Amino acid sequence: MQNVNVLAVVEPFYLDKTKCPFPPQSVIDLVSMLGDMNIRCVHKVGQLDTFLEQTLCVIGSETRDNPRMFRECIGIGASHIYLEAPGAPTIDQLKDMHLLAATRGVDVYMGYQRTFASYVQRAVSLSRSIPKSHVFFCHNEAYSSNELNLAVSQQGILHSMAAQELAVLVKHLGVKADEIAGFKVNTNRLFSEKQTFYINNNPGNKFTDFSRVAFKITTNKRRSVSVMGDRCGGLISFAVVKSHTGKELQRFPSHDADEVSMVESELRNGTEIAPQFIIESDEYLELKRRVVKCILSGERTMAGLPSIQDGLDVFALADYCKAQIDAVLTDHD
């Protein structure tokens, strides 16, 4: 991005010699390259000097570490923060972060990149033009079933993967947890499945999550929406706009045939990169472009970008959905 200057990279594991005395060669090469570009590489935020100019901190660490890094970035003078979703392990921690940022006058953008995906925006625009329309958002990931242990996270599918669609519901369709009038889970195992996963194949270190999940929400304003997330659903996500009678009016895929071919080639060559970072790279870049543009323009309204308040609304909606789904789905160990 030509309109930003990168000051530093903070990598808390690979650059900490006590935690990682022998980093991979790829990390060594990256640090060398960044050094040649006058970009500092450190393992703690506290190793950086206080920021004297307008500075955006992009925080994409482990979710459990985000609150601490958030406070540290504000402590050394960050004027803006881009915070990867969900931002914190709990909604109360995210509320504390929101309060701190507001007190210090720091604008915080949440990394809900799907809110600016072109196929989602086209589907939302069509749905708004059709009275009583229903929108179905399907978020697929391209993991195989034997890779699920690597794909799932302890924060859960509803607070990570499917939270992108929940952010679309919050930001574009005005869906809030306290305005839900009806909630229905598709309990067919083809659409929703709860499983127990073992970290590092250790029976004593396990957690339960959904490998896929599908549900329908109706609000007290009679807005009707459906969401499905499938860790093993494939490369293409999509949105479908239906009439009030259930007739499909138009389907919006995340990638056309040419884009699929290009992404498949990148996946073959980028085996050290998590697949979703490649598949959704255009969405990530578009959101970050808009964040930078908003900052440089001096706008205080954040130009419709997902804010930390939106993040709180998404977190509350994810908490609500998880509780409802847990109540009706059994675990398939």
Query: Does one domain contain both 143 and 101?
Result: no
Site of tokens 């506290």: 46
> What is the pLDDT averaged over residues 70-91?
96
Confidence of residue 251 (pLDDT cuts 50, 70, 90): very high
The region, left, alpha or beta by phi > 0 then psi within -120 to 50, assigned to residue 228 is: beta
Average pLDDT over residues 261-283: 87
Please report whether residue 3 resides in a domain.
Answer: no
Domain boundary among 68, 88, 110: 110
List the single range of 72-86, 157-171, 174-188, 266-280 with lowest mean pLDDT.
266-280
The pLDDT, as a whole number, for residue 301 is: 72
Tell me whether residue 301 is in a domain: no
Are 19 and 41 within one domain? yes
Asked if the model's pLDDT at residue 333 lies above 60, the reply is no
Q: Which residues pair with 109 in a beta bridge?
A: 82, 307
% of the chain at pLDDT higher than 90: 81
Residue 123 sits in the same domain as residue 267: yes
Specify if 49 maps to a domain.
yes
Do 103 and 118 belong together in one domain?
Answer: no
Same domain, 193 and 54: no
Torsion, CA 265, CA 269, CA 275, CA 281, rounded to 10: -70
Domain stop point among 110, 134, 169: 110
Domain stops at, among 95, 110, 125 = 110
Q: Tokens 């950086």 identify what position?
A: 48
Residues 175 and 269 in one domain: yes
Same domain, 255 and 125: yes
**CATH number of domain containing 84:** 3.40.50.720
Rounded CA-CA distance 289/266 in Å is: 22
220, 209: one domain: yes
Distance of CA 264 to the CA centre of its chain: 22
Q: Is residue 143 part of a domain?
A: yes
Q: Is 99 a domain residue?
A: yes
- The gap between the terminal CA atoms of the chain, to the nearest Å, is 46
Count of other CB atoms within 10 angstroms of residue 283: 22
Q: Does any domain span residue 271?
A: yes
Pick the more confident residue, 206 or 7. 7
**Count of the separate structural domains present in the chain:** 2
Question: What is the CATH number for 315?
Answer: 3.30.360
Say how far apart CA 300 and CA 152 lie, in whole Å. Answer: 36
* Residue numbers of the domain that contains 314: 113-279+307-332
Query: How far apart, in whole angstroms, are the C-alpha atoms of residue 139 and residue 187?
Result: 18
- The answer to whether the beta carbons of residues 140 and 236 sit under 8 Å apart is yes
pLDDT at residue 170, rounded to an integer: 97
Please tell me the predicted confidence (pLDDT) of residue 273.
Answer: 79
Distance CA 67, CA 148 (A): 27
Q: Are residues 54 and 171 in the same domain?
A: no
* Cα–Cα distance, 14 to 23 (Å, whole number): 6
Binning pLDDT at 50, 70 and 90, where does residue 270 land? confident
- 274 and 178 co-located in one domain: yes
Q: What is the pLDDT of residues 7-63, one digit of tens each?
A: 999 999 999 999 999 999 999 999 999 999 999 999 999 999 999 999 999 999 989
Q: For residues 227-254, give the mean pLDDT.
A: 95
Are 101 and 120 part of one and the same domain?
no
Q: Give the angle 160-166-170 at the CA atoms, nearest 5°.
A: 135
User: Do the domain assignments include residue 139?
Assistant: yes
In a domain, 2, yes or no: no
pLDDT at 201: 63
Q: Let me know whether 94 and 40 are in one domain.
A: yes
CB 81 within 8 A of CB 59: yes
DSSP 112-169: -GGGG-HHHHHHHHHHHTSTT-EEEEEEE----GGGHHHH--TT-GGGTTTHHHHHHH
Strand partners, 83: 59, 110
